[in-house]
Amino acid sequence: MGKIDAPYLVTYTNKDGTLRHCFAPRHEDRQEGWATVRLHDGRGKPIRDPIVAASACRAVAAIYTAWRRGEAGMGPHLIDKLGRPVTQTPVQAGKTARGPETSESARNIPPRPNRRHGGRL
């Protein structure tokens, strides 16, 4: 099997022989918020397949290299803790998240009683 080449992809071998694939940015950029992260799939499971890991690492590396070029809006905030690109920016997520401004029917629902303190369901 040949070596899979992707920028910033580092592969470690576990004691049991399985592979761990990580995105490893330049050490100098750690002060800017970048870190080595293990790559995971969409379900949050660690990626074991080298080809899938290379594809996932290229997606993260595209954001990283855009940030290194100085493109606006790019940075480590676009990568989650599982090494996946974030689909929404934090500003967009705040606008779409359900906060205190919910529908009228949701505001009229009384809170559930706490069973530990003698409340009944």
User: 13-27, 37-51, 65-79, 92-106: lowest mean pLDDT where?
Assistant: 92-106
Q: Specify the higher pLDDT residue, 46 or 99.
A: 46
What digits encode the pLDDT tens for the residues 26-37?
999 999 999 999
Asked, for residue 23, whether it belongs to a domain, the answer is yes
Mean pLDDT of 36-62: 94
Average pLDDT, the chain: 82
Q: Specify the higher pLDDT residue, 26 or 88.
A: 26
Residue with tokens 């918020």: 33
Alpha-carbon separation of residue 17 from 11, 14, 44, 46 (angstroms): 12, 5, 21, 15
Mean pLDDT of 82-109: 62
| Token digits of residue 93 | 């997520």
Domain extent, residue 56, equals 9-86
Separation CA 6–CA 55 (nearest Å) = 8
Asked, for residue 79, whether it belongs to a domain, the answer is yes
Separation CA 87–CA 13 (nearest Å) = 30
Asked, for residue 47, whether it belongs to a domain, the answer is yes
Asked, for residue 111, whether it belongs to a domain, the answer is no
Count of domains forming the chain: 1
| Token digits of residue 25 | 């940015």
Asked, for residue 61, whether it belongs to a domain, the answer is yes
What 3-state class would DSSP assign to 12?
strand
Asked, for residue 39, whether it belongs to a domain, the answer is yes
Separation CA 95–CA 72 (nearest Å) = 21
Q: What is the pLDDT of residue 7?
A: 92
Asked, for residue 81, whether it belongs to a domain, the answer is yes
Mean pLDDT of 31-60: 94
Which stretches within 12-103 are classed as H helix? 50-69, 90-96
Asked, for residue 45, whether it belongs to a domain, the answer is yes
Mean pLDDT of 61-72: 94
Instruction: Give 93's pLDDT tier (boundaries 50, 70, 90).
Output: low
